[in-house]
Structure 1
Amino acid sequence: YQVRMIPYEDDEFTRPFTGKVDAELNQKMNVEVRVEGVDSRQFALVMDTCWATPVNDPDYSLRWDLIIN
């Protein structure tokens, strides 16, 4: 399966950004998270939080919150 994060320009999720997206720290953004390659009748995506680290370690002390719900 593949997970994609798609940023949108508007609150209605009708205009996805094209090209490079510049954002300020703590700027609210509308992002669709889409999982492709799964049976949607048997799979549901529920996200409360999402963060990034500079290394491949989810417990690394330095991290940036991407989604806070």
Structure 2
Amino acid sequence: YQVRMIPYEDDEFTRPFTGRVDAELNQKMNVEVRVEGVDSRQFALVMDTCWATPVNDPDYSLRWDLIIN
């Protein structure tokens, strides 16, 4: 399966950004998270948080919060 994060310009999730997205630190952003290639009747996506690390290690001590709540 593939997970996609789609940023939107508006609170109604009707206008996805196209091209490069520039954002300020701590700026609120609306993001749809979509899982493709799964049966939606048997799979539910629940996200509490999302973060990034500078290396391919989810337990790395340095990380930046992308989604909170």
| TM-score interval (norm. to shorter) | over 0.9
Gaps of 5+ in 1: none
- Cα distance in 2 for partners of 1:26, 1:59 equals 23
Using the size of structure 2 for normalisation, the TM-score is: 0.98
Structure 1 position 59, deviation (Å)? 1.0
Shift of 1:5: 0.1
Q: Give % identity.
A: 99
Counterpart residue number, 2:66: 66
Q: CA deviation at 1:16?
A: 0.2
Secondary structure of residue in 2 paired with 1:13: coil
Alignment of 1:27 with 2:48, yes or no, is no
Aligned partners of 1:17, 1:7: CA distance in 2, in Å?
Answer: 6
CA RMSD of superposed structures (Å): 0.4
The one-character-per-residue Cα deviations of 1:28-68 (angstroms, maximum 9, x if unpaired) are 00000000000000000000000000001111111010000
Partners in 1 of 2:38 and 2:68 — Cα distance?
25
Mean alpha-carbon deviation: is it higher for 55-64 or for 43-52? 55-64
SS at the partner of 2:21? Answer: coil
Q: How far apart are the structure 2 equivalents of 1:13 and 1:65? A: 21
Segments of structure 2 that go 5 or more residues without pairing to the other structure are: none
Q: Distance in 2 between matches of 1:8 and 1:39?
A: 25
Aligned residues: 69
